[in-house]
Structure 1
Amino acid sequence: MSPSSRPDDRLASVFRFATELVAWIATPWALASRSVPLAVLSVVVLIGLPTLLSTPGDKRNVIVAVPGPVTIALVLVQLAAAVVAAWVAWPAFAAVPVTVLAAITVVLELPRWRWLASR
């Protein structure tokens, strides 16, 4: 793989999507008892920002182009939201697997993040 070519992240994308899905569910769940508008806003942010902002070459359709580190930060926000919200909203037997899922995602994302960091 040349330094400019995007790494194959098919496996990482499965784990990344699974973690995003958890974030989309757990975050509003954790926030709903405190503020329903905040719970709704969390979903808008967690889904909307990564849809709107992307690094050229990382996705086919780029609406608003951002540098690679912004894309990395968006993924980290999703991962953190999934883990923190799972621990706040759910019992440990559900939060532990989410934490493991996020950790595996980080490891699998590293080649993509190295590539994105150069963008």
Structure 2
Amino acid sequence: MSPLEGPDDPAGDRPGDRVASAFRFATELVAWIATPWALAPHSVPLAVLSVVVLIGLPTLFSTPGDRRNVIVAVPGYVTILLVVLHVVAAVAAAWVAWHAVAAALVSVLGVVTVVLELPRWRWLMSR
């Protein structure tokens, strides 16, 4: 398997960069933590719902070829929108809930994640 082949795509046409995956996962983790943290002072049920949505949607919806187990198949642009949702949630919630230095670091994480995701997003748009 070449370095660009994804582990879930034996044909090798899915870009599978471990660094991009690590940054994407880090952004998801920040979104899962920061979003309920920012919402809890206003509404605990909304904070809980945010975690359910942020974890549940990508678990339920995925693009065939991008993941091994697809529960509900969706076009590539839906998968891209789910990543964008996580990036936006992480950055916005960090600015609401955390110190400016931490929020700035999360913003950098979001930008790096988007840049590293671009090859995968190009591939997803063809699905």
TM bin (shorter chain):
over 0.9
Q: What CA RMSD, in Å, does the superposition of the two structures yield over aligned residues?
A: 1.1
Q: Which has the higher contact order (CA 8 A, sep 6+)?
A: 1
Q: Which has the higher helix share?
A: 1
Q: Structure 1, residues 2-37: CA drift from partner, whole Å, max 9, x if none?
A: xx8101221100000000000000000000000000
What's the CA shift string for 1:78-101, capped at 9, x where partnerless?
A: 000000000000010110100000
Q: Tell me the number of residue pairs that the alignment of Structure 1 and Structure 2 aligns.
A: 117
| Structure 1 stretches of at least 4 aligned residues deviating more than 6 Å after TM superposition | none
* Cα deviation, residue 65, structure 1: 0.3
TM-score of the superposition, structure 1-length normalised?
A: 0.96
1:24 aligns with 2:32: yes
Secondary structure at 1:60 match in 2 = coil
Query: CA offsets, 1:25-61, max 9 Å, x none?
Result: 0000000000000000000000000000000000000
Question: What are the within-5 Å matches in structure 2 for residues 49-88 of structure 1?
Answer: 49-88=57-96
Percent pairwise identity: 77
Contiguous gaps of at least 5 residues in structure 1: none
